[in-house]
Homo-oligomer: A and B are copies of this chain.
């Protein structure tokens, strides 16, 4: 008996076979701990290939670690981060940015999880720069793809980067799903980040087929002094680092990062298109990466939220009846089609019931 492949999260999936092979291949003899091994060195080289020669990557355990280490490494205690109110940083890290990273967050309402230069302009009363009573913005943080499944194009990133830089701020990208964003637009990872003016990146691996592992990547020259101390102090330094290095190497050396992300994206597109055709179902965000945000009738949510084995099929996103459906690197067309069929059936069954 095994759990179905549902749509609860792209971290419900397991490890891609090529990644597990890479782990296995690295598992012989002794290797220096804490990153002084050859797998981590090779991964560093891959990061430079993708993100440019100035890129310096610091592998960490998880996405919270990547975000908080990244931000802590470039901010003083009185500095702040501007981000959309839907940012993982703000809503899903249990206060780690504030308590552990030591920054304040200024949040911005957005329709689709995406910051714009206009929204940025209104995100802080800029006349207070230099006023010791106010936390001072230092970083703008956006997620790409966003927590709502939407994607910034390189030009959009560039516009925000320029606006941030004009204010003396850095642009950070929470790239837990940066591969999905790049794959969706058929651009390279560097095109969507370094080339678009991004200063530092949380590079995501776990959701894209790794067992564990993300990386803080400083893209701009001269950033991140002391980051090795920050990573250690924030408890994100793995002793058997070779296995993080080997995974990141395997993900980035060929096109595995893109294959995995593209598969997830394709399945989300299929799912979105199919759901759009179901009466009573409404997409509330454009499907641009690997997530589908759809309004389902309440009675359907209630019946479908858990699959027959009691596993969570998806998460309810808000009280308005929006559900989040995430596709993963291992999602198959049959998974999508079966789910859509069950939605259709359930909606038909429950059509008479009022909410």
Contacts and interface: CB of A to CB of B under 8 A. Distances in A.
Interface string A44-72: 00000000000000000111110010001
A62 B133 CA distance: 14
A173 B96 CA distance: 26
Contact of A212 (B5, B107, B243): B243
Contacts of A234: 96, 100, 235
A9 B237 CA distance: 16
A251 B51 CA distance: 39
A329 to B, nearest CB: 11
Interface in A1-57: 2-6, 8-9, 11-15, 20, 23-24, 26-34
A342 interface: no
Interface in A208-228: 211-212, 226, 228
Given A94-B134, A235-B65, A235-B234, A312 B24 contact: no
Q: Could you say which of A99, A103, A125 has the most chain B C-beta atoms within 10 Å of its C-beta?
A: A99
A30 B8 contact: yes
B30 A4 contact: yes
Contact of A235 (B26, B100, B104, B125): B100
A195 B96 CA distance: 35
A263 B218 CA distance: 42
A288 B26 CA distance: 31
A contact residues, range: 35 or more
Interface of A is mostly: loop
Contacts of A135: 94-95
A240 interface: yes
B92 A133 contact: yes
Q: Which 7 A-B pairs have the closest CB atoms?
A: A78-B229, A11-B239, A12-B30, A98-B98, A95-B135, A95-B104, A94-B233
Given A31-B12, A134-B92, A233 B78 contact: yes
A235 B64 contact: yes
9 contacts: A2-B28, A8-B33, A32-B312, A64-B237, A92-B134, A94-B133, A95-B104, A102-B102, A235-B235
Given A4-B30, A13-B30, A95-B233, 4 more contacts: A30-B328, A78-B232, A80-B95, A93-B133
B15 A30 contact: no
